[in-house]
Amino acid sequence: MNQTANQAQQPRLATIVVAGGQGTRMGGVDKASVKVHGVRLVDRLIAQLPPATDYVVVSPRELGLPLTCEQPPFGGPVAGIHAGFEYLLHRHPDLEFIATLPVDAPDSPQILPRLFAAITADSSASVALIRSQDGSLQNLCGIWRTSALKNSFDQLGSPRNQSVRRLLAQAGRIIEAEGTGEEQDYDTRQEADAYISSASENVRRAKLDH
């Protein structure tokens, strides 16, 4: 097989699903396994990823999915992202972009197309993040240039118990894309119950313009 064919098979974008928290605000439950219409949140999220997007779930729990976890577990979201980053780069050394999505934002794959369009249109951008309709910046809903994420980790030092804001402070140029509401996360039991009662049974794949 020639080099061009090999390059065509390599994904440009892969996704880290951050699911390694302790779910404290939701009563200590495993958020990934909360069910909506009989489907776990983690499966609902994965079902909406673009078809050609590889992924890894960061969690210390056995979920029957491509999985990795920081060691020891519960080292915070940045440690989880770092574990996911190493997992994906081992599989795809030439990966161009890496998305991060939190498992408690189960419809967040739907905002990947606008994030992907934003970062591929601006070669100076290190990371594209979603600005929600309420004005808040969603630090875990984003797409990084792989080289920028690596550089940010190199500058940060140990990722354990670090905040996502500190990781982003090393990123360089950050751009924003407007949210649609599909990036909303559900942190508490009440919020999760509201989502469960309102969510559609059907999900759709996100579509990236390659």
Q: What is the pLDDT of residues 131-174, one digit of tens each?
A: 998 899 999 999 999 999 999 999 999 999 999 999 999 999 99
| DSSP labels, 35-95 | EETTEEHHHHHHHTS-TT-EEEEE-SS--SSSEE--SSS---HHHHHHHHHHHHHHH-TT-
Kindly indicate the confidence band of residue 209, based on its pLDDT and cuts at 50, 70 and 90: confident
Q: What is the mean pLDDT of residues 24-43?
A: 84
CA distances from 56 to 38, 80, 83, 107, 135 (A): 22, 11, 10, 17, 29
Kindly indicate the confidence band of residue 188, based on its pLDDT and cuts at 50, 70 and 90: confident
Q: Please determine, for residue 191, whether its predicted confidence score (pLDDT) is greater than 80.
A: yes
Report H helices in 102-201: 112-121, 146-156, 164-169, 189-198
Query: Per-residue b/e over 182-197, b at no fewer than 16 CB within 10 Å?
Result: bbbbbbeeeebeebee
Percentage with pLDDT > 90 across the chain: 82
Q: Are the beta carbons of 101 and 18 closer than 8 angstroms?
A: yes
Amino acid 118: pLDDT? 97
Ordered by where they begin, the domains of the chain are 11-188 (3.90.550.10)
Amino acid 24: pLDDT? 54
Residues 6+ apart with CB under 8 A from 205: 47, 48, 49, 50, 51, 109
Q: What is the mean pLDDT of residues 31-59?
A: 95
Can you tell me the distance from the alpha carbon of 40 to that of 125, in angstroms, rounded to the nearest whole number?
Answer: 34
Please, what is the end-to-end C-alpha distance for the chain in angstroms?
A: 22
Tokens 């999505």 sit on residue: 101
Can you tell me the distance from the alpha carbon of 40 to that of 94, in angstroms, rounded to the nearest whole number?
Answer: 31
Residue-averaged pLDDT of the chain: 91
